[in-house]
Amino acid sequence: MADPILETRGLSKSFGALKASDDISMTLKPGEIHALIGPNGAGKSTLIQQISGALQPDAGTIALMGQDVTGHSMQARAKAGLARTFQISNLVMKDTVLQNVMLGALGASGRVWRFFSPILSNQSLLDVAEHALERVGLHDHRDRRTDELSHGQRRQLEVAIALTLKPKAFVMDEPMAGLGADGSKRLTGFLDTLRNEAPILLVEHDMDAVFALADRISVLVYGRIIATGSVYDIRANPDVRAAYLGDEA
Amino acid sequence: MMSERYLNAGVLIALLIVPIWAHLADAPYTITLATRVAILALAAVGLNIALGLGGLVSLGHAVFFGIGGYAMGVLAHHAQTYTALDLGIFTVDGTKSMPIIWLVAVGTSAVAAVIIGALSLRTSGVYFIMITLAFGQMFYYFAISWSTYGGEDGLSIYLRNDFPGLNTLIPIQFFAICFAVLSLVLLLQAGVSRSAFGLALNAARQAPTRVEAVGLNPKRLQFVAFILSATITGLAGALFADLNRFVSPSMFSWQFSGEIMVFVILGGVGRLCGPVVGAAVFVLLEHVLGGLTEFWHIYLGLILLIIVQFARGGIVGLLATDRGQHG
């Protein structure tokens, strides 16, 4: 079996008496989409924040490509190849769409200490940025200001920025949220091919998307992973049905 | 309403035409006013890089203005008294050469900005404002107690410093120097804001976590912006001291830090020529209303209130058709 790209071991995080993450060990293997599901307040976002480096765990370790990155900043993890999309769009709202993806391309190139040559005439960065926009279907909107975009388009832009980083692993926090049926369907198709470039840790509420995409699903309830398995296993798991899926499954 | 580019050109042309007219009409005081506008604008252009581009609300930029002023004062003082400046390990002669004074002003401002920036940027928000203010006060009281260079009374420099090929005592020639420096700095700023650094800095101000998520360090970007910003305000300080042929601790005062912030807000935060417009309006009001009443600041306050309430893009934002980064 291939070594995992991303691995957490015994991750724990408490806020006062609340155990938001309770001894979480999970892996993300090459080529897979590993979906993380669970009811609201189960600790999905807390886990994502620890993995991306926005929060420090109280205990446990996080490894990226076998390297311990537990103490690393979000910035260092991004450099090491972890691309994150945010649950609430985190974009440079008063910049254009193109400038936002250029920022990603610039971050990946690391050549930020250039004070005079205009960045929008840097052809190699421009190519990376425009290619990413084309792939998510935003190229026609490249010159619009980001705050003029619809909610769904902002979600697409989040994904486009992640693409420019050419990451080793994606961590996506509810990329389908608010997309509508059509948008979800299109993004589902896109993520399906994206897994071949880098595995995706996917937090998602849209069960149709999760069941269509996930190679493995982990179910988080009260900060604990109560089950990990294939779509079939999870659908059949009585604990999961009781805790989360209810009649929906 | 017009595009910001034309507006900027118009502002600079106006700032150039007025003193030329005054020169032909033999009105030297008007030239001095225009020179004052150019220099104060330059100081505010410096602050605008930290504040407008970097999002750093520094209430201590008078530190760099004062450092630039004292760089000029100290060097010119030693030159005019024919005494050597003892730097501990070695001594140097004073100088009356503007380009050398500018280099020293820029260099010392940069060193101060590295220290102040490294400490202040550990904080943000109100704490950043307070720390920069505290540094300003430290420098202010240091200057007051620095008796070698006049203490509270400051330093008088008898003759304006020299610039190769020009007679700086002729008002229009000194204006030309200040205007050229201002234009050059604005040109550089326009270039920087379109560069890779400019893009990243702009993002660091608006969405710092986004910048981290692409693997860049927003604080480091802001730190470099702070240093750039300080060197420009420092350069303005050296010119200001030369305009008045006088340096005093008041250049370090927190009131001055506030004043240049008023220029930036009045003209338009983050707008290239915002500080120029702001400084021009300020000097005009000071000149026109100051002649009528001692309490002219009341009217300035009123105008500022209206701008902040109804025109967040400042005067430039009000007149330009382009949407700014802060509007």
| DSSP assignment string, B112-162 | HHHHHHHHHTTS-THHHHHHHHHHHHHHHHHHHH-GGGTGGG-EE-SSPPB
> Looking at chain A from residue 116 to 135, which residues have their Cβ under 8 Å from any Cβ of chain B?
116-120, 122
Mean pLDDT of chain A: 91
User: Average pLDDT for residues B276-286, to the nearest whole number?
Assistant: 95
- Is A118's CB within 8 Å of B192's CB? no
Residue A113 forms contact with B (CB below 8 Å): yes
Query: Who has greater pLDDT, B258 or A245?
Result: B258
Cα–Cα distance for residue pair B270/B118, rounded to 1 Å: 23
User: Average pLDDT for residues B295-301, to the nearest whole number?
Assistant: 87
Each residue of A159-197: pLDDT tens digit? 999 999 999 999 999 998 888 888 888 899 999 999 999
CB contacts, 8 Å: B313 with chain A: none
- Is B215's CB within 8 Å of A107's CB? yes
Please tell me which of the candidates B195, B213, B326 has its beta carbon nearest to residue A114.
B195
Task: Quote the percentage of chain A above a pLDDT of 70.
Answer: 97
User: Average pLDDT for residues B17-39, to the nearest whole number?
Assistant: 96
The domains of chain B are located at 30-251
- Residue A1 has what pLDDT? 57
Pair B166, B173: CB distance under 8 Å? yes
Please state, as a whole number, how many other Cβ atoms lie within 10 Å of the Cβ of residue B255: 10
Which residues contact residue A249 at a Cβ distance below 8 angstroms, ignoring those fewer than 6 apart? A235, A240, A241
Strand partners, A6: A28, A64
Strand partners, B246: B156
CB contacts, 8 Å: A115 with chain B: 191-192, 195-198
| Residue of chain A nearest B201, judged by CA positions | A112
User: Average pLDDT for residues B145-155, to the nearest whole number?
Assistant: 93
Shortest CA gap B317–chain A (Å) = 15
- Best residue of A64, A69, A74, A92 to probe chain B, by most B CBs closer than 10 Å: A92
Determine which helix (DSSP H) or strand (DSSP E) holds B15, and give its type and residue range: helix B4-24
Please name which of B300, B293, B225, B239 lies closest in space to residue B265, comparing C-alpha atoms.
B300
CB contacts, 8 Å: A126 with chain B: none
> Looking at chain A from residue 133 to 162, which residues have their Cβ under 8 Å from any Cβ of chain B?
145, 161
- Residue B307 has what pLDDT? 87
Strand partners, A11: A24
Which residues contact residue B209 at a Cβ distance below 8 angstroms, ignoring those fewer than 6 apart? A54, A74, A86, A90
Query: Confidence class of residue B92 from pLDDT cuts 50, 70 and 90?
Result: confident
Pair B68, B241: CB distance under 8 Å? yes
- Residue A7 has what pLDDT? 95
| Residue of chain A nearest B194, judged by CA positions | A118
- Residue B88 has what pLDDT? 83
Each residue of B100-128: pLDDT tens digit? 999 999 999 999 999 999 999 999 889 99
- Is B197's CB within 8 Å of A112's CB? yes
Residue A165 forms contact with B (CB below 8 Å): yes
- Which domains are assigned to chain A? 1-81+168-249 (3.40.50.300), 90-166 (no CATH)
Query: Confidence class of residue A249 from pLDDT cuts 50, 70 and 90?
Result: very low
- Is B212's CB within 8 Å of A84's CB? no
- Is B195's CB within 8 Å of A86's CB? no
Determine which helix (DSSP H) or strand (DSSP E) holds A71, and give its type and residue range: none
Residue B210 forms contact with A (CB below 8 Å): yes
Cα dist from A121 to A41, A189, B159, whole Å: 46, 33, 48
The sign one gets for the Cα dihedral A208, A211, A212, A213 is positive
User: Average pLDDT for residues A40-50, to the nearest whole number?
Assistant: 91
Q: How many CB pairs under 8 A join A and B?
A: 108
Query: Confidence class of residue B230 from pLDDT cuts 50, 70 and 90?
Result: very high
Pair B266, B303: CB distance under 8 Å? yes
A2: pLDDT strictly greater than 80: no
Mean pLDDT of chain B: 94
Query: Confidence class of residue B226 from pLDDT cuts 50, 70 and 90?
Result: very high
- Is A78's CB within 8 Å of B214's CB? yes
End-to-end CA distance of chain A: 31
CB contacts, 8 Å: A78 with chain B: 212-215
User: Average pLDDT for residues B28-33, to the nearest whole number?
Assistant: 95
Query: Who has greater pLDDT, B261 or A42?
Result: B261
